[in-house]
C-alpha cells in the first residue's frame, strides 16, 4: 500500500463524484476532528484537573493520528478498537474523579483563583499522563484507517477529501457546540458514524461498546449542568444546597430574594443575587455584607453622580446593579458568555438585564473596547479572572488580552473627562500579583492608582482628573503596596497575568516532556510499511510543526483584532483548513508553484508588522488583514506540502510524519510562556527553515 504511486494528472478528467475510498477518507477525517473536539470540550468538565491542559488534549490527538497513519498496512487492523479505547478513556476519567485533587495554584502560576499555593501531588501527575496517553490511543485506530485509505486514492485527491472531512467536522462541531451542546449526543455522532463504517464483527462490537461509553459519559457530568461556549456551568444555592429546578417566579420583585452561586468547571465563579440592601431584612440570611456592597460601590463613591458606565465582565450583574443604585442613567454591560447572561436573566434577583437603562453586549471585553468609540463616566473592569483557556490551541487564558498594558490602556481611552477607571481582581493574598496589577494599571494610565483591599480582593481606581479623594469604608481599606522587586508586566506579546515569571510551570513541563518522549519513541520505532522515515518525511515533519504553530499564532493574533470568542477561534481554524484545501486544489490544477521564498516572505510580513498598527486600522482594514495577509503563509506552506506529497513514494508515511510534526508544533507553543509571541515567530521561521534543509537533502539524494 505504502509504495503505490498515482498520476495526479490522470485524475483531472475523472468524475468529481467520490467513490467508496474517498467517502471513507472524508468520514474518517470527520470522525477524527469531531471526536477530538468533543473530548477537548468534555474532558475538563469531567475531570477538573485537566482544565488548564486542554490544549495538550489536542496535541495528544495529533500524536495518536500520526502514529495510526504510520501503522497503516500493518496488523492488527485497529479500526474496530475505536469505541473500546474511547470506553477505556471515559472509564479512566471516572476513576480519576475519585483519586485526584483539583488543579489549585502552584508557586509558579495562579489557577482557579486558588487561595492556597500547593504543588499538585505526584499522583495527579500520573493521572495526567495516563489521561493524555489514553487520549492518544483513541485516535490511533482512526489514523490507521486514514493511512490505509490514502493508498487507494490518488494522493492529492485523497488529501483533499481528508481536508474536506476535517473542515466539515470542525464546522459541524462549532455549530453543535454553540447551539445545543450535549456530551452524550455529541459523542454519539462519531460513534454512530464509526459503526456505519465498521463491518461484520467490528460493527456488532461497536454498538454495545458505544452505548456503554455514552452511558458512562452521562454519569461523569451533572445532567442539570449548562454548557456555555466556554464553560461547564452549574448553579447552586448560596448556602450550598441544591438549586431548585426553577427560580421563584417573582425573584426580581420579592423581599429577601435568594442568592445563587454559579460555578464553572467545578470552581466558584459568580454570585447571582441582589446588592440592594433595601430588599432584605436586617436578619436575612441572604443580605449582602459590607465587603460585597463596598466592592461594587467603590468606583461610584470615588466618582459620584456618574451618568454613564461601562461594565466589562458583567456576568451576574452585580456591578451593573451597583451603577444603577448610584444613579447611573445608562449602563453598557459587556460579557463574553451568552449563557451566563441568560442564567442571570432568570436566576439573578437584581433583574438588571431586564432594565431599559442597561444595554447588553455579548462580546469579548478587549474587542469591545477597541471597537466602541464612546466614553463613559465610569469604566469598570469586573472580576473577569478566567477559569479556562480561550482555545484548545493556545495556553493563553480567556481573559489574557484584557489584562495587558494595551488592554487596560484601551479601557483608559474610554474614560470621559472627570471620569474614573476601576479594576477589580481577586489576588488570593499573593503580594506579587497585587504589585503586578498596580504596575500594570500605572503603565496603562500613566498614573498611580488608588488601591483598596479586603479578603484577597484588590480594587484599583484611577480618576481621570488630578483629584485623589479619601472615602470612608467599613470593610475595604485603602493601602499602599510600597517598594517591590521588578515585575514582569503582561503585554500583548506576553499575555500571562497569572504566571509569576517568564517560565513554563513544572507540572506543564512534566506532561510536555512525556509527550515529547512519546514523539521521539514513535519516530524511532513506529516504522511505516516500506522502511524508515527519510528526508522527505523529515521535511513533512517540520512542515507539520510549523503548520500547527502558525495556526496557533493566527488564532491568538485574530483574537486580539476581533476578540477571544469561540466564533473567532472556529472561524480561524475553519479558514486555515480551507486555505490548505485551496492550496491542495491549486497544486492539482497546476496553478502557481510552491516556493519557500514566497513562504518566508509571507512569514516575515505577517510577523514583522506591529500588532498596534493593525489594531489602529478601522474594522474593514483589520478584516482585510485577517482575510488576505494572515492566510498567505498557510497557503504557501500548504502548496509546498502538497507538491512534496504528490511525488512521495510512500504518501501515508509522509502524512503520518506531518501529523507527528504537528504534535511538536503544539508543544512548541508553550514556549510563548518564556519568549512571548515574537519569540515564537522566530521559532516558526526556524521550523520552516528546517523543512527547507530536509527538502534539499531529499532532492540531493534523488
Q: Does the pLDDT of residue 28 top 50, yes or no? A: yes
Query: For strand 267-272 and strand 260-264, is the pairing parallel, antiparallel, or unpaired?
Result: antiparallel
Sign of the dihedral defined by the CA atoms of residues 351, 352, 355, 361, in that order: negative
pTM beyond cutoff 0.85: yes
Write the DSSP symbol of residue 693.
H
Q: Does the pLDDT of residue 11 top 50, yes or no? A: no
In the structure grid, which three cell numbers stand for residue 14, read together?
Answer: 475523472
Write the DSSP symbol of residue 571.
H
Q: Does the pLDDT of residue 365 top 60, yes or no? A: yes
Instruction: Say which CATH architecture domain 8-225+497-700 belongs to.
Output: Up-down Bundle (1.20)
Specify the 3-state DSSP secondary structure of 451: strand
Q: pLDDT at position 388, please?
A: 66
Q: What is the pLDDT of residues 307-349, one digit of tens each?
A: 999 999 998 999 999 999 999 999 999 998 899 999 999 999 9
Residues 6+ apart with CB under 8 A from 181: 41, 227
Q: pLDDT over 90 for what percent of the chain? A: 41
Q: pLDDT at position 394, please?
A: 72
- Domain ranges within the chain, ordered by starting residue: 8-225+497-700, 285-387+405-479
Q: Does the pLDDT of residue 54 top 80, yes or no? A: no
Sign of the dihedral defined by the CA atoms of residues 206, 212, 215, 217, in that order: negative
CATH code for the structural domain at 285-387+405-479: 3.40.50.150
Q: Does the pLDDT of residue 199 top 90, yes or no? A: no
Q: pLDDT at position 605, please?
A: 87
Q: Does the pLDDT of residue 500 top 90, yes or no? A: no
DSSP string, 287-343: PPPHHHHHHHHHHHHHSTT--EEEEES-TTSHHHHHHHHTT-SEEEEEES-HHHHHH
Q: Does the pLDDT of residue 4 top 50, yes or no? A: no
Q: Which long-range contacts (CB under 8 A, 24 or more apart) does 109-115 make?
A: 109/498, 109/499, 109/500, 109/505, 110/428, 110/430, 110/433, 110/498, 111/51, 111/52, 111/498, 112/51, 112/267, 112/387, 113/267, 113/268, 113/385, 113/387, 113/426, 113/428, 114/428, 115/428, 115/429, 115/456
pLDDT band of residue 134 (cuts 50, 70, 90) is very high
Q: Does the pLDDT of residue 135 top 70, yes or no? A: yes
Across the chain, mean pLDDT equals 85
Q: Which residue has the higher pLDDT, 29 or 428?
A: 29
Q: pLDDT at position 113, please?
A: 42
Q: Which residue has the higher pLDDT, 597 or 558?
A: 597
Sign of the dihedral defined by the CA atoms of residues 552, 553, 554, 555, in that order: positive
Q: pLDDT at position 19, please?
A: 65
561, containing H or E segment: helix 535-562
Q: What is the pLDDT of residues 274-306, one digit of tens each?
A: 999 889 888 888 888 888 888 899 999 999 999
Q: What is the pLDDT of residues 106-129, one digit of tens each?
A: 667 776 544 343 444 677 778 888
Q: Does the pLDDT of residue 216 top 50, yes or no? A: yes
Q: pLDDT at position 441, please?
A: 95
Q: Rounded to an integer, what distance in angstroms lies between the CA atom of residue 229 and that of residue 364?
A: 13
Q: Is 632 exposed, middle or buried (0-12, 13-18, 19+ CB in 10 A)?
A: middle
Q: What is the pLDDT of residues 588-632, one digit of tens each?
A: 887 767 689 999 999 998 888 888 788 778 878 888 888 778 888
Q: Which of 227, 30, 8 is nearest to 142 (CA)?
A: 30
pLDDT band of residue 15 (cuts 50, 70, 90) is very low
Of 46-50, 78-82, 244-248, 577-581, the least confident: 46-50
Q: pLDDT at position 483, please?
A: 66
Q: pLDDT over 70 for what percent of the chain? A: 91
Q: Which of 541, 526, 572, 533 is nearest to 641 (CA)?
A: 541
Amino acid at each position: 500500500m505504502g509504495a503505490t504511486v498515482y498520476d495526479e494528472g490522470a485524475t483531472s478528467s475523472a468524475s468529481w463524484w467520490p467513490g467508496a475510498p474517498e467517502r471513507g477518507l472524508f468520514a474518517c477525517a470527520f470522525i477524527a476532528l469531531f471526536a477530538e473536539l468533543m473530548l477537548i470540550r468534555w474532558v475538563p468538565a469531567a475531570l477538573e484537573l485537566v482544565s488548564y491542559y486542554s490544549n495538550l488534549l489536542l496535541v495528544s490527538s495529533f500524536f495518536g493520528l500520526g502514529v495510526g497513519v504510520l501503522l497503516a498496512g500493518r496488523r492488527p487492523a485497529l479500526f474496530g478498537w475505536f469505541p473500546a479505547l474511547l470506553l477505556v478513556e471515559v472509564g479512566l476519567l471516572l476513576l480519576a474523579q475519585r483519586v485526584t485533587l483539583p488543579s489549585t495554584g502552584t508557586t509558579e502560576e495562579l489557577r482557579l483563583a486558588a487561595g492556597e499555593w500547593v504543588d499538585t501531588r505526584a499522583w495527579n501527575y500520573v493521572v495526567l499522563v495516563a489521561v493524555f496517553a489514553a487520549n492518544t490511543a483513541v485516535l490511533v485506530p482512526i489514523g490507521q484507517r486514514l493511512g490505509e485509505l490514502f493508498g487507494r486514492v490518488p494522493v492529492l485527491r485523497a488529501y483533499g477529501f481528508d481536508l474536506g472531512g476535517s473542515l466539515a467536522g470542525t464546522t459541524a462541531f462549532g455549530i453543535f457546540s454553540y447551539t445545543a451542546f450535549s456530551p452524550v449526543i455529541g459523542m454519539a455522532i462519531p460513534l454512530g458514524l464509526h459503526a456505519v463504517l465498521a463491518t461484520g464483527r467490528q460493527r456488532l462490537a461497536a454498538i454495545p461498546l458505544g452505548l456503554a461509553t455514552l452511558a458512562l459519559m452521562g454519569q461523569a457530568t451533572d445532567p442539570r449542568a449548562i454548557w456555555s461556549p466556554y464553560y461547564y456551568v452549574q448553579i447552586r444555592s448560596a448556602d450550598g444546597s441544591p438549586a431548585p429546578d426553577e427560580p421563584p417566579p417573582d425573584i426580581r420583585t420579592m423581599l429577601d430574594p435568594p442568592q445563587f452561586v454559579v460555578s464553572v468547571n467545578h470552581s466558584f465563579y459568580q454570585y447571582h443575587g441582589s446588592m440592594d440592601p433595601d430588599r432584605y431584612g436586617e436578619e436575612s440570611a441572604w443580605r449582602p455584607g459590607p465587603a460585597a456592597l463596598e466592592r461594587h460601590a467603590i468606583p461610584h463613591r470615588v466618582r459620584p453622580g456618574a451618568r454613564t458606565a461601562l461594565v466589562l465582565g458583567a456576568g451576574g450583574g452585580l456591578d451593573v446593579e451597583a451603577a444603577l443604585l448610584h444613579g447611573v442613567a445608562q449602563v453598557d454591560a459587556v460579557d463574553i458568555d451568552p449563557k451566563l447572561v441568560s442564567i442571570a436573566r432568570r436566576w439573578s434577583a437584581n433583574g438588571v438585564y431586564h432594565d431599559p437603562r442597561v444595554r447588553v453586549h455579548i462580546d469579548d471585553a478587549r474587542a469591545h473596547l477597541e471597537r466602541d468609540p464612546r466614553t463613559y463616566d465610569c469604566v469598570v473592569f469586573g472580576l473577569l479572572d478566567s477559569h479556562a483557556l480561550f482555545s484548545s490551541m493556545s495556553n493563553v487564558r480567556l481573559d489574557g488580552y484584557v489584562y495587558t498594558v494595551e488592554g487596560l490602556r484601551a479601557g483608559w481611552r474610554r474614560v470621559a473627562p472627570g471620569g474614573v477607571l476601576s479594576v477589580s481582581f481577586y489576588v488570593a493574598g499573593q503580594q506579587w500579583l497585587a504589585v503586578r496589577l498596580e504596575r500594570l494599571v500605572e503603565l496603562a494610565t500613566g498614573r498611580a492608582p488608588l488601591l483598596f483591599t479586603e479578603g484577597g480582593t484588590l480594587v484599583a481606581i484611577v480618576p481621570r482628573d488630578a483629584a485623589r479623594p479619601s472615602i470612608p469604608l467599613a470593610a475595604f481599606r485603602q493601602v499602599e503596596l510600597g517598594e517591590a522587586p521588578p515585575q514582569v508586566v503582561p503585554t500583548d506579546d506576553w499575555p500571562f497575568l497569572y504566571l509569576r515569571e517568564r517560565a513554563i510551570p513544572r507540572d506543564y513541563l512534566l506532561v510536555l516532556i512525556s509527550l515529547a518522549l512519546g514523539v521521539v519513541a514513535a519516530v524511532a520505532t513506529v516504522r511505516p510499511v516500506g522502511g524508515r522515515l527519510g528526508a522527505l518525511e523529515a521535511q513533512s515533519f517540520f512542515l507539520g510543526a510549523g503548520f500547527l504553530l502558525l495556526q496557533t499564532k493566527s488564532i491568538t493574533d485574530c483574537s486580539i483584532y476581533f476578540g477571544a470568542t469561540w466564533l473567532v477561534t472556529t472561524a480561524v481554524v475553519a479558514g486555515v483548513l480551507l486555505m490548505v484545501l485551496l492550496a491542495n486544489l491549486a497544486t492539482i490544477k497546476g496553478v502557481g508553484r510552491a516556493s519557500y521564498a514566497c513562504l518566508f516572505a509571507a512569514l516575515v510580513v505577517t510577523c514583522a508588522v506591529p500588532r498596534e498598527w493593525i489594531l489602529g486600522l478601522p474594522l474593514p482594514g483589520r478584516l482585510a488583514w485577517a482575510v488576505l495577509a494572515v492566510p498567505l503563509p498557510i497557503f504557501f506552506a500548504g502548496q509546498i506540502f502538497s507538491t512534496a506529497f504528490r511525488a512521495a513514494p510512500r504518501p501515508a508515511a509522509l502524512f503520518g510524519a506531518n501529523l507527528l510534526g504537528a504534535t511538536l508544533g503544539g508543544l512548541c507553543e508553550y514556549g510563548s510562556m518564556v519568549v512571548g509571541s515574537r519569540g515564537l515567530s522566530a521559532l516558526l521561521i526556524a521550523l520552516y527553515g528546517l523543512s527547507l534543509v530536509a527538502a534539499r537533502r531529499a532532492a540531493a539524494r534523488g
